[in-house]
Amino acid sequence: MATFSLHGIPVSRGIAIGRAHLLRSAALDVKHYLISQEKIESEVQRLSNAIAQVHEELQTIRKDLSPEAPSELGAFIDVHVLILSDPIVSEQPLDIIRSRYYNAEWALLTQIDALSAQFDEIEDAYLRERKNDILQVGERILKALLGSANSISNVSEPEIASQIIVVAHDISPADMLQFRDRSFVGFVTDLGGQNSHTAIVARSLDIPAAVGMSNASILINQNDWVIIDGDAGVVIVNPASVVLDQYRENQNRLLRERKKLGKLKKTPAITRDGTEIHMLANIELPEDCSSALEAGAVGVGLFRSEFLFMGRTGYANKLPSEDEQFESYRKAVVAMKGKPVTIRTLDVGADKPLDKAEETALNPALGLRAIRYCLAEPQMFLTQLRAILRASAYGPINLLIPMLSHAFEIDQSLLLIEQAKTQLRAEKKKFDEKIHVGAMIEIPAAALTLPLFIKRLDFLSIGTNDLIQYTLAIDRVDHEVAHLYDPLHPAILQLLATTISAGAKAGVPVAVCGEVAGDIKLTRLLLGLGLREFSMHPAQLLSVKQEILNSDISEIEPQVKKILKLYEPEAIAEAVEKLQSL
Ligand code: PEP
Ligand code: MG
């Protein structure tokens, strides 16, 4: 068997070794033929039944979602239910059968192809992702039509016993669920990028994955031996036995390290030279608080509240009510048992649109996003502010505002917070009068005008995901420019350094809550820059904590000062790597 390797995008760390299980695309099995007039209604019925069956399947999956399932999964499945309920998917293919006499599969594919061609014409990263959702829903209906359970349940037990790596053109969020309960050890897909659904769910399940592999699902055969090196985004197919042994050894070492990490849960995050570091968690839904506490977080540094609004996209009138939001925020703060919860106000637009935001923007990442959207919809914003404030009566909450860049945006936000407080006082509803309000520093303009922010706000949180996107002018969800995404670019280092030191000088706490905070290769650099608050996905907390426990800031700081004077990328990379051996 030929050995070869494939390179894609690393999205979830670790090493997985197993036999390939290919998920074939149902579209490959579709036959195209014309039906006679008498058969039209029965063909329409066949397609309607398949759609109803998928509807039921998705509802059941959603209902049976275990409490430990990653919270994103439920939202993604809701999106699929919404797509399925849309007449462009559920009605128009029926019209195609009636008007063109196509068989059901052909009619469905014709409609899905037409929709996906429309999506291709729009240069909008979020809509590109939605195109995948439509394709996945189409695939599910096709499978129902073909009666082929082309799924995990088809894998025989002996195969399962030998650990399976799923190889597919694409995997839908609902399909991901089936993998959870079985011994699937990794994923390889042709499609996808850093922020694709497969990537997000694989990360939250903590399973190695590599995506964006172009034609892995064609090149890899059923039962091939596959190694996924999740850190490098490399897949090795039918490796030589020495390579396999080497990876097994690495895998065992990683497993041993992970076991050891579990013991650090209760250990306070204090550096070798005695500095205490705050290790906080990023969450999407209140249910994530349990994994945050499990991982020893001392609070929630970023509650991305937009996830409460997701799965309702396109249905602005179905925004969560004040009471519904209040319940979610209260649930989170109660679950954290007195530990602080930083709730970020709605960060919609760009890759997470509600109705109006998606209509016109050609460059949605530069459009009516986050606080810009909220200030344009003050009533909606007030509802959220009231809900957050009411929840602050049940435990410590900080309010975090995303995407601020102008002084007047800060002032307007503060004014609306005041207005919400005044209303609640008049209604005799309790809230924390002294609630802290902070800003995400994620636009270069903000990082370059810190006095504006420090004067008006209680804390800052650096969103490196967007700060890098906007500083380096690279769309964070466009895989064509993914190679330009570089947290070590000297411009980024300068902005991080300025923000952290300005905060320290003014006595205003500064956290980092972007992906950079969870990258152990950057922990020492951040410590040396003066960072004392790290917020990250709970799955990353313990390995970062271990890095902190082994670090001595007094040794790191002088080296990091030197790094800030470097401009050549190789020199920076080398110096950052050297921090690891201090
Ligand atoms: C960021 O931009 O770094 C951040 C934490 O926010 P999000 O990824 O939700 O935009
Ligand atoms: Mg952001």
Last residue of a domain, one of 114, 130, 146: 146
95 lies in the same domain as 223: no
Name the E strands within 173-276.
Answer: 184-189, 209-211, 225-229, 234-237
Please say if 374 is a catalytic residue: no
244 lies in the same domain as 383: no
Q: What is residue 331's three-state secondary structure?
A: helix
Report the distance separating Cα 158 and Cα 241, nearest Å: 22
Q: What is residue 352's three-state secondary structure?
A: strand
For the cut 90, the answer to whether the pLDDT of residue 569 exceeds it is yes
Question: Relative to the alpha carbon of 305, which ligand is closest?
Answer: 1
324 lies in the same domain as 382: yes
Report the distance separating Cα 450 and Cα 421, nearest Å: 26
Answer yes or no: is the C-beta of 105 below 6 A from any ligand 1 atom. Answer: no
564 lies in the same domain as 457: yes
216 lies in the same domain as 318: no
Answer yes or no: is the C-beta of 208 below 6 A from any ligand 1 atom. Answer: no
Which strands, in side-by-side order, build the sheet including 209-211? 4-7, 234-237, 225-229, 15-23, 164-168, 184-189, 209-211, 9-12
On average, the pLDDT of the chain sits at 88
For the ranges 18-27, 470-479, 520-529, the maximum mean pLDDT occurs at 520-529
To the nearest 10°, report the CA torsion of 413, 415, 418, 419. Answer: -100
List the domain range (segments joined by +) for residue 82.
Answer: 26-146
Bridge-based pairing state of the strands 9-12 and 209-211: antiparallel
Q: What is the pLDDT of residues 436-489, one digit of tens each?
A: 999 999 999 999 999 999 999 999 999 999 999 999 998 876 767 878 889 999
H-helix or E-strand spanning residue 4: strand 4-7
Largest CA distance in the chain: 83
222 lies in the same domain as 364: no
CATH number at residue 389: 3.20.20.60
HSE-up (13 A, CA, CB side) for residue 227: 23
- Give 548's pLDDT tier (boundaries 50, 70, 90): very high
CATH number at residue 8: 3.50.30.10
pLDDT for residue 177: 61
For the ranges 119-123, 125-129, 191-195, 467-471, the maximum mean pLDDT occurs at 467-471
Backbone angles phi, psi at 158, to 5 degrees: -55, -35
Q: Which residue among 200, 440, 477 is best mutated to probe the pocket of ligand 1, counting the most ligand atoms within 8 A of its Cβ?
A: 440
Alpha helices in 365-438 (DSSP H): 370-376, 378-391, 407-426
pLDDT for residue 319: 86
Question: Relative to the alpha carbon of 465, which ligand is closest?
Answer: 1
Report the distance separating Cα 272 and Cα 120, nearest Å: 53
- Give 222's pLDDT tier (boundaries 50, 70, 90): confident
141 lies in the same domain as 156: no
Question: Relative to the alpha carbon of 280, which ligand is closest?
Answer: 1
CATH number at residue 84: 1.10.274.10
Backbone angles phi, psi at 471, to 5 degrees: -70, -40
Please say if 513 is a catalytic residue: yes
pLDDT for residue 197: 64
Could you tell me the pTM of the whole model? 0.70
252 lies in the same domain as 320: no
- Give 153's pLDDT tier (boundaries 50, 70, 90): very low
Report the distance separating Cα 526 and Cα 560, nearest Å: 9
Q: What is residue 345's three-state secondary structure?
A: coil
Report the distance separating Cα 567 and Cα 544, nearest Å: 27
Tokens 């540094």 correspond to 301
- Give 308's pLDDT tier (boundaries 50, 70, 90): confident
349 lies in the same domain as 428: yes
- Give 238's pLDDT tier (boundaries 50, 70, 90): very high
| Structural domain total, the chain | 3
Q: What mean pLDDT do residues 357-362 have?
A: 59
Last residue of a domain, one of 120, 146, 172: 146
Answer yes or no: is the C-beta of 519 below 6 A from any ligand 1 atom. Answer: no
Reduced to 3 DSSP states, what percent helix, strand and coil does the chain have, rounded to the nearest 5?
55, 15, 30
Report the distance separating Cα 527 and Cα 5, nearest Å: 37
Tokens 């190889």 correspond to 167
From 80, 169, 197, 479, the catalytic residue: 197
Ligand 2 midpoint to CA 349 (Å): 11
